Each structure stands twice: as structure tokens, then as C-alpha cells.
Amino acid sequence: MATIIYDFETSGLNVYKEDVIEIGAKCIETGLTYSTLVIPLSKKGLSSKITEITGITNELLKTDGKKTLQAFLEFFNYLQDVYDQYNDITLVAHNGLSFDDIFLRRMLRYVQGEGYTEFDEMFSKIIYVDSLMLSRYIHHSRRYHSMKDMCALYNVTNESAHRAMGDVDALAEIWSHLVNHFKQLHADCSGTHLKYILYL
């Protein structure tokens, strides 16, 4: 089983209308990462608020961003390589259930619409786990469970908050702590069991 921590930066918070502008991912087992800026499909450009939060500018996307299809295919090939090696992937994102996982499914539909269906089998078997829900399960007496709060709890330094790889690296550390806590309660900490416990 392989666990991949992933994070998207996006052009806004509406999961059904906005675009992915940055992808970050890290495989816990191998340490292999994938990271890229993505030129959004929308031509409206980033708002000043998104630039203020992420530090990503329209100019940066134009100079360093990859076209949408290229970026998505590269990311999916990265996932496929891990899947082929381990025959199993658990994808972990903080607040993934309400945010990142939805963007990822939209990305898959976009790629399928462009005629690429070779990732369908892998995606049918991927297990999604929201680390926010695991945090709430482990630390049920705490009121706040944001990335910032979890970083403070576990003394994790996020070198680049609100940038995809910065958040991925921080979450990888947080995830290690959460899983260690979970192991004290359950012998099985596989993605399948985590999903069973958290999504009842």
C-alpha cells in the first residue's frame, strides 16, 4: 500500500467553478514528489486576493505554468507509476473530502473528455482519506483542526504555507503523527480501514 499526500492551490474556493493552479504531491513510501504550476482554463486571471494568499501571480503562471492537459496528464502518470508499483494508493488531503478530492474528480473528467481513459481503472480503486477528519477523530476534544492548528500542535514548520508543496511537506509530518496516534487505537491503519472508521 502506498500513501500519497497531495494538495491543490486553486483560483478560488468554489470547487465546481474554479481552476487548479498548482499541484503538489509526495509519496510517503518512496519520497518521490510531483509539483507544477498550472495555467488555468479560465481566462479571467487570478484575483488579487488569491495572489495575496498564495503568492502566485498571473505572470508567474504564464512564465512557469504548464498547460492544463499537460499538467494533469503528468500528475496522473505520477500516480499511475506509484499505483503500478504498489497496486494500491491512498490519497490524503487536508479537507480533501470537501475540496481537493472534488477538484481531482473534475480533473479526471476533463482528461477523460480529452480522450484519455487509461487512468480509469486506477481511479476506480483509489482510496481517499481526509486528514482533517482523522484529526477530528484523534483529537475530538479540540475545537480547531486546520493545517495551521495542526502545525502548531505538532510543532511542524510550514516553510511555504498556501503553496502546494509547502502544504504537502507539512501535512506529511502531521500525517505521521496522526497515524501514530491512530495505531494506538487500531491495529489496522490501512487506507481501507481508515476510510471505514472515518466515513461511517
Query: What residue segments make up the domains of the chain, in order of their start?
Result: 2-198
How many CB atoms neighbour CB 62 within 10 A?
A: 11
- Beta-carbon contacts of 177 under 8 Å, excluding residues fewer than 6 positions away, are 154
Residue 28: which of 56, 6, 57 has the closest Cα? 6
CB 4 within 8 A of CB 82: yes
Q: How confident is the model at residue 78 (pLDDT cuts 50, 70, 90)?
A: very high
What does each C-alpha distance from 102 to 7, 17, 58, 98, 179 come to in angstroms?
12, 11, 24, 7, 24
How many CB atoms neighbour CB 147 within 10 A?
A: 22
pLDDT at 200: 66
pTM score, two decimals? 0.96
What percent helix, strand, coil does the chain show, rounded to 5? 50, 15, 30
Mean pLDDT of the chain: 96
pLDDT digits (tens, 9 = 90+) for 106-139: 999 999 999 999 999 999 999 999 999 999 999 9
Q: Does residue 14 carry a pLDDT above 90?
A: yes
In total, the chain counts a number of residues equal to 200
CA 199 to chain centre: 18
- 40-44, 119-123, 138-142, 146-150: which has the minimum mean pLDDT? 40-44
How many CB atoms neighbour CB 149 within 10 A?
A: 14
- Domain 2-198: CATH superfamily, name plus number: Ribonuclease H-like superfamily/Ribonuclease H (3.30.420.10)
pLDDT at 187: 87
pLDDT at 17: 95
Cross-strand partners of 92:
5, 129
